[in-house]
Amino acid sequence: MRTKEASNSAELLTYAPFTLFPTPVPKAVFRQAVDVQIHYNSLVDKISQSSDFLEEALASTIEVDEFTSRLFKIHKQILEEGRSQSVVLGLNRSDYMLDQRDDGSSALKQIEINTISASFGGLSAGVVNVHKHILKVAGRMEDSMAILDNNPGAGLARAIAKAKELYGSERAVVLILVSDDEQNIYDQRYIELELMKLNVRTIRRTFEDVCVRGSLDEDKRLFVDDMEVAVVYFRNGYVPQQYKSQQDWDTRLMLERSHAIKCPNIATHLTGTKKVQQVLAQPGVLERFFPTELHVVDQIRATFTGLYTLDMGPEGDKTVAMAIQDPERYVLKPQREGGGNNIYGAEICKVLQEAKGSERTAYILMDMIKPTSSHNYLLRRDGPLTVSNCLSELGVFGAYVRQGSTMVMNEQVGHLLRTKSSVHADGGVAAGVAVLDNPLLY
């Protein structure tokens, strides 16, 4: 990774932080997470096609959350104009923790699903060989051989390549939309290299680059620097601060209006909001998307934890009272990606008590998942090498490609384990809190 002090330098680098040893994970819950991923892919895709559901689910949020509101306005404009591309590409990552039950067993509970810029599909592959080597050196040959092969980046690239093939132009390129200040560039580069192996050409551009040197022709085909773009892969544009001006919002609209395949398109981006996650947990909602597949409903619902609305009205009032009475039991979540945004403990009371009118509807409330801790060494550039009490989070990558009504590809393509010291409540690898890890199944 690049360093925080020089996040634009290709000369000054550090290693991505990682655990010295892999973390034990029960085989049954790991398999559960892997097996349900194709159903989550289908669910995300179905929601993205249901404009009525998205509008209904996000109605209260877009009134008070400006970022979600601006995304939704683009979504509405695209619906009014008509979508110009029938091929849909989704690269998702569903994140879980293992909640400890009273009987000592573990239950897989979803934290969130990421539908835009799901990261560490590249770097996570490298940790496999590191842990295999460490376990061999430690004399744990059997454990070393038990570490699962894992290469999410290759699967993500395969889906991008399939979408590009369906676009139908040999000369067209894949545009990776990036920020001009990217510490995690090599995770992205890994997927570019996998695409290179598949003879797919990629270009890296920022919002500003596309604004200045991008255009649509009369057929809405997107050109950047005179190159036709088949796929726009967003590794930027998922938090408000990445839109530095109205110009960036105009560029996002141009990309969405284009004939290029967007990953994600604006509807899929909105599907990943916390509010949609909370609405899906309400009784009868999943059945709306899988009316004849109740086994799929059961598999997905089994991963839900308690999720509560903060909409105005008696139910939202009840949620507020419940949270203020016992804030340690809950997490308050805004509609934001990227880690480090959640609110815990006494701060929940402060935010909810100070929220004026409908401001509280910018958040959802979720049960606090309480995983069993483990002990490990966290290897990072700036930290002492001491044993830490650790908590882990399992992510599973999914990739799908749909053309019209035909699902061309729907796969689970790998996993990611991130581990952090239990002293930190929130934050991912890119945020400088968690480190890369591997599951050691038992």
| Res 426 pLDDT > 80 | no
Q: DSSP letters of 113-126? A: EE-S----TTTHHH
238 annotated as ligand-binding: yes
pLDDT digits (tens, 9 = 90+) for 293-319: 999 999 999 999 999 999 999 999 999
Q: DSSP letters of 29-54? A: HHHHHHHHHHHHHHHHHHHHT-HHHH
* Residue of 158, 274, 275, 360 marked catalytic: 274
Query: Among this protein's residues, is 11 annotated catalytic?
Result: no
Report the C-alpha gap between 250 and 128 in whole angstroms: 41
- Tokens encoding 334: 């805004």
Report the C-alpha gap between 418 and 131 in whole angstroms: 14
Query: Among this protein's residues, is 165 annotated catalytic?
Result: no
Instruction: Report CA-CA distances (Å) from 44 to 40, 65, 218, 270, 369.
Output: 6, 22, 31, 10, 23
11 annotated as ligand-binding: no
Mean pLDDT, all residues of the chain: 95
235 annotated as ligand-binding: yes
* Residue of 41, 42, 94, 119 marked catalytic: 119
Query: Among this protein's residues, is 350 annotated catalytic?
Result: no
* Residue of 179, 337, 376, 388 marked catalytic: 337
* Residue of 205, 257, 262, 333 marked catalytic: 333
Beta bridge partners of 64: none
* Residue of 48, 92, 93, 316 marked catalytic: 93
pLDDT digits (tens, 9 = 90+) for 238-291: 999 999 999 999 999 999 999 999 999 999 999 999 999 999 999 999 999 999
293 annotated as ligand-binding: no
Q: Which pLDDT score, from 0 to 100, does residue 7 have?
A: 85
Query: Among this protein's residues, is 109 annotated catalytic?
Result: no
Q: Which pLDDT score, from 0 to 100, does residue 431 have?
A: 67
Which fold is adopted by the domain 18-305+369-441?
A: Rossmann fold (3.40.50)
Tell me what the mean pLDDT of segment 395-415 comes to: 98
- Tokens encoding 442: 């038992």
Report the C-alpha gap between 316 and 321 in whole angstroms: 9
Look at the block and give the residue holding tokens 């990227």.
338
65 annotated as ligand-binding: no
Report the C-alpha gap between 119 and 176 in whole angstroms: 13
Give helix 294-301 / helix 27-48 axis angle, nearest 10°.
120
Report the C-alpha gap between 206 and 409 in whole angstroms: 29
Query: Among this protein's residues, is 101 annotated catalytic?
Result: no
Q: Which pLDDT score, from 0 to 100, does residue 381 have?
A: 86
Q: DSSP letters of 133-195? A: HHHHHTT-HHHHHHSPP--HHHHHHHHHHHHHHHHT-SS-EEEEE--SS-TTHHHHHHHHHHH
183 annotated as ligand-binding: yes
Q: Give the chain's largest Cα–Cα span.
A: 65
* Residue of 41, 92, 114, 265 marked catalytic: 114
Q: Identify the helix (H) or strand (E) that includes residue 246.
A: helix 246-257
The domain spans of the chain are 18-305+369-441, 306-368
Cα-Cα-Cα-Cα dihedral sign, residues 195, 196, 199, 204: positive
Report the C-alpha gap between 200 and 228 in whole angstroms: 13
Query: Among this protein's residues, is 114 annotated catalytic?
Result: yes
Q: DSSP letters of 332-376? A: EEES--SSS--EETHHHHHHHHH--GGGGGGEEEEEPP-BPPEEE
The one-letter code for the residue type at 34 is V
Query: Among this protein's residues, is 192 annotated catalytic?
Result: no
Query: Among this protein's residues, is 119 annotated catalytic?
Result: yes
* Residue of 112, 192, 194, 256 marked catalytic: 112
pLDDT digits (tens, 9 = 90+) for 116-149: 999 999 999 999 999 999 999 999 999 999 999 9
Between vectors from CA 304 to CA 35 and to CA 46, what angle results, nearest 5°? 65
pLDDT digits (tens, 9 = 90+) for 330-365: 999 999 987 778 999 999 999 999 998 899 999 999
Q: Which of 187, 212, 197, 361 is nearest to 273 (CA)?
A: 361
Question: Is residue 5 exposed (0-12), middle (13-18) or buried (19+ Cβ within 10 Å)?
Answer: exposed
End-to-end CA distance of the chain: 31
* CA-derived radius of gyration, the chain: 21
86's CB contacts (< 8 A; 6+ apart) are 403, 404
Per the CB < 8 A criterion, the answer to whether 177 and 207 are in contact is yes
Report the C-alpha gap between 159 and 406 in whole angstroms: 15
pLDDT digits (tens, 9 = 90+) for 191-250: 999 999 999 999 999 999 999 999 999 999 999 999 999 999 999 999 999 999 999 999
Per the CB < 8 A criterion, the answer to whether 363 and 351 are in contact is yes
| Res 95 pLDDT > 70 | yes
Where residue 338 falls (left for φ over 0; alpha for ψ -120 to 50; beta otherwise) is left
- Tokens encoding 315: 């139910």
Report the C-alpha gap between 54 and 155 in whole angstroms: 28
335 annotated as ligand-binding: yes
pTM of the model: 0.96
Residue 305, SS3 per DSSP: coil
Report the C-alpha gap between 104 and 181 in whole angstroms: 44
Each residue of 347-361: b (16+ CB within 10 Å) or e?
ebbebbeebeeeebb
77 annotated as ligand-binding: no
| Res 33 pLDDT > 80 | yes
- Tokens encoding 355: 């929220």
**How many Cα atoms sit within 13 Å of 177 on the Cβ side?**
30
CATH superfamily for 306-368 is Glutathione synthase lid domain (3.30.1490.50)
Query: Among this protein's residues, is 315 annotated catalytic?
Result: no
429 annotated as ligand-binding: yes
Q: Which pLDDT score, from 0 to 100, does residue 427 have?
A: 65
